[in-house]
Each structure stands twice: as C-alpha cells, then as structure tokens.
C-alpha cells in the first residue's frame, strides 16, 4: 500500500475513531512521510529504475518527451540541469541513486518506478533483497 493510500485510509477512518490526539496525528504524519522517503531511497537504488530514469532524461533532453509529464515543475528552476547530470553520469550507480531522488518526479512516476523494481525483483531472484527493502520501506543495504 502506498503512503498516499495509507493517508486516504486514515482520513476515511478518522471521523469514526476520535481516539488520536493532535500529537498522535502529527507522529503518524511524520511516520508516513518518513516511509515515503525510505521507499524512494530504496527504489532509486535499483538498477532497473536508474536505467529508466536515465532513459527518461535522455528523451527529455532530446525533446522526445515533455518535462511536465514526468516532474513537478512548481518552484523548480534546475530540473533540466538535473536531467542533464543524470544522463551524463549514467555509469556511476551510487551517484545515480542520489541524482534520481533529487529530481522532483511526479507521484505516478515514482509508482511506476516502484512497479519496475518489483517486477525486476520477481524476475531475478538476486534482486529479492531490494524488493524486501522496498516493501518494508527500509533501505538497509546498497544493492
């Protein structure tokens, strides 16, 4: 279940269960936000996701894809430079992970990346630790 699904479920449940204090709600919100960050961290370390992000970057830079179809442009002035850097350093996996996370991809793109990582893990048993990290939201190891 995605963090957004958890928030939606919580908001549907809230009126029926007034048991949470303001502190509890704030704590829950922080835990959901942290889970989202951890999941993106793990997903961005997956090679298949890095390749997909580089491919998107290359197509955007060549004008084959529209930037606004993949990223949130609000308040972002350096997005094209980040895509250029991503394409330029496509061979540097540790750097790629960080670069992928710095691009403000739309939520639907992160969902697609997550699906690609899960599919790759199912097809290649050596990627099962990555899948476990994604599902648990704990980027414990570098894969």
Burial class of residue 49 in the structure, from the number of CB atoms within 10 Å of its CB (0-12 exposed, 13-18 middle, 19+ buried): buried
User: pLDDT category, 85, cuts 50, 70, 90?
Assistant: very high
28-80 residue pLDDT tens? 788 888 888 888 888 998 899 999 999 999 999 999 999 999 998 886 678 88
The SS3 of residue 103 is coil
pLDDT score of 139 more than 70 = no
Can you give the pTM of this predicted structure? 0.67
pLDDT at 118: 83
Most confident of 46-50, 89-93, 138-142: 46-50
Contacts of 67 (CB under 8 A, 6+ apart): 60, 73, 79, 80, 83
Q: Give the CA angle between residues 52, 53, 55 to the nearest 5°.
A: 65
User: pLDDT category, 13, cuts 50, 70, 90?
Assistant: low
pLDDT at 143: 40
pLDDT, average across residues 99-115 = 92
């Amino acid at each position: 279940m995605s963090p957004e699904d958890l928030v939606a479920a919580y908001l549907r449940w809230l009126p029926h269960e007034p048991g949470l204090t303001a502190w509890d709600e704030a704590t829950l919100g922080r835990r959901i936000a942290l889970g989202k960050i951890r999941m993106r961290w793990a997903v961005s370390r997956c090679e298949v996701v890095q390749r997909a992000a580089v491919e998107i970057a290359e197509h955007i830079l060549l004008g084959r894809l529209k930037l606004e179809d993949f990223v949130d442009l609000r308040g972002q002035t350096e997005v094209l430079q980040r895509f250029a850097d991503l394409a330029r350093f496509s061979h540097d996996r540790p750097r790629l992970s960080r670069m992928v996370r710095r691009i403000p991809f739309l939520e639907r793109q992160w969902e697609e990346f997550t699906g690609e990582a899960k599919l790759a893990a199912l097809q290649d048993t050596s990627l099962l630790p990555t899948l476990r990290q994604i599902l648990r939201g704990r980027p414990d190891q570098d894969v």
